[in-house]
């Protein structure tokens, strides 16, 4: 039986990156270029189709109060904040002043500065300082991988029932296999993928979008 999973060549990846709405968005393109100039760290930015997918989810689900863990230079935050309704607000958590200064510059240019609250500091401490109530209706997690499970546990009680949580890098460049794993990030991601698949508090699906998105919904 041939596999229905298509191995992605560089030209297919390029094709995917062009076949979504806003693929030529000049502001996002400029932010990608400026982030690229930062050097190797630019690999942390989400891909264009991941951004388009996040925007689509926010709009389709009618999200009003999302939270982002791991903001970097602000690309994913733009994708999360733009489709919000007028009264919607995004809370962004990051520990880097330098990178989020660049993010702010682009949020201002995108006209969404008033829709985004940025909290600088350790993300786990920032979430712990938020009351344990269902304040948010969407979460995007894209910070330090060994703490993904902690973010999941901390965010779950702060999300309303039915809310969606999206974790990036859940294929970790393919290094989630073979077991046993040694690298701490790979171990943490693999353990969380396996946990989410059988955690009765959520339903989840692992999708091979770029470096892998695990999408779960609070039941």
Ligand X SMILES: C[S@@+](CC[C@H](N)C(=O)[O-])C[C@H]1O[C@@H](n2cnc3c(N)ncnc32)[C@H](O)[C@@H]1O
Contacts to ligand X by CB under 6 A:
44-46, 70-73, 75-76, 93-96, 99, 122-123, 142-144
CB of 90 to ligand X, least distance (A): 12
Task: Choose among 99, 92, 96, 153: nearest CA to 117.
Answer: 92
Cβ atoms < 10 Å from Cβ of 121: 11
CB of 78 to ligand X, least distance (A): 9
For ligand X, give the closer residue by CB, 92 or 196: 92
Instruction: Indicate the pairing of strand 159-168 with strand 213-218.
Output: antiparallel
For ligand X, give the closer residue by CB, 36 or 219: 36
CB of 59 to ligand X, least distance (A): 18
For ligand X, give the closer residue by CB, 42 or 197: 42
> Distance between CA 32 and CA 26 in Å, rounded?
10
CB of 36 to ligand X, least distance (A): 12
For ligand X, give the closer residue by CB, 105 or 197: 105
CB of 82 to ligand X, least distance (A): 14
For ligand X, give the closer residue by CB, 124 or 197: 124
């Amino acid at each position: 039986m041939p596999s229905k999973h298509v191995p992605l060549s560089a030209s297919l990846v390029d094709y995917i990156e062009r076949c979504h709405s806003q693929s030529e968005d000049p502001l996002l393109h400029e932010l990608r270029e400026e982030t690229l100039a930062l050097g190797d760290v630019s690999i942390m930015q989400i891909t264009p189709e991941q951004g388009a997918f996040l925007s689509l989810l926010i709009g389709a689900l009618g999200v009003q109060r999302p939270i982002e863990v791991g903001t970097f230079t602000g690309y994913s935050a733009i994708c999360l904040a733009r489709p919000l309704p007028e009264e919607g607000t995004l809370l962004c958590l990051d520990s880097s002043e330098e990178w989020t200064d660049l993010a702010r510059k682009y949020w201002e240019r995108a006209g969404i500065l008033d829709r985004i609250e940025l909290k600088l500091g350790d993300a786990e401490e920032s979430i712990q300082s938020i009351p344990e109530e269902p304040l948010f209706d969407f979460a995007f997690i894209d910070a330090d991988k060994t703490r993904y499970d902690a973010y999941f546990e901390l965010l779950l009680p702060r999300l309303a029932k039915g809310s969606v949580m999206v974790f990036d890098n859940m294929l970790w460049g393919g290094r989630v296999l073979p077991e046993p794993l040694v690298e701490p990030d790979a171990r943490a991601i693999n353990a969380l993928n396996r946990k989410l698949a059988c955690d009765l508090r959520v339903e989840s699906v692992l999708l091979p979008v770029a470096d892998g998105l695990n999408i779960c919904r609070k039941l």
